[in-house]
Amino acid sequence: MDQNVWLGALFRWFHFLAGVMWIGLLYFFNFVNAPASKEATAAGEGAPISKYIVPLALVYFRWAAVATWLAGAALLGTNPDGPGPNGLNGFFAAFSLQGNYALIGFGAWLGTIMLFNVWALIWPNQKKILGFVPATDPEKATARRVAFLASRTNTMLSIPMLFFMGSSHFANLFMKMR
């Protein structure tokens, strides 16, 4: 077997596992943590969630996003699924939406936007909300809104991103079965 096949399998598995962690935590924050934190705060019990659970979940969330993106970028360069560009050419083919790389490239762009949202919008604002950096009450209110909108945007972007990335992987699988 070609080395690219093994590397592709390794990167694909790591990409899949890291992606499950990233999207799972994204959904946890949006569908479980947000309403639970609101209820816990109203009941006067919010401190354990924001002090112990959210900071640790944010560590895994941020770094799962990076691991997912890096493994996906590496996977684009191995092209174990057939003819086409390898190495950086595969990466550039995906991000310029060329040929067989168009589907995965669209998913990769959505994932890149989501990664940007995690590191440039969600995390800096969460640091203010959680008190890791000093912020006034109005700054915290703005930070809550920005983090909320970026997180909900990522949740909505995850739907087409998963579709395009899954479609690409399944298309490659079906091509091999012919």
Average pLDDT estimate for 27-32: 95
Q: What residue has token string 């009450």?
A: 137
pLDDT digits (tens, 9 = 90+) for 74-96: 888 876 555 567 778 888 999 99
The answer on pLDDT for 57 being more than 90 is yes
Rounded mean pLDDT of the chain?
88
Which pLDDT belongs to residue 36?
Answer: 87
| Model pLDDT, residue 80 | 52
- Give, in order, the Cα–Cα distances in Å from 170 to each of 59, 86, 95, 154, 177: 31, 20, 19, 23, 11
pLDDT digits (tens, 9 = 90+) for 98-148: 888 888 899 999 999 999 999 999 999 999 999 999 999 999 999 999 999
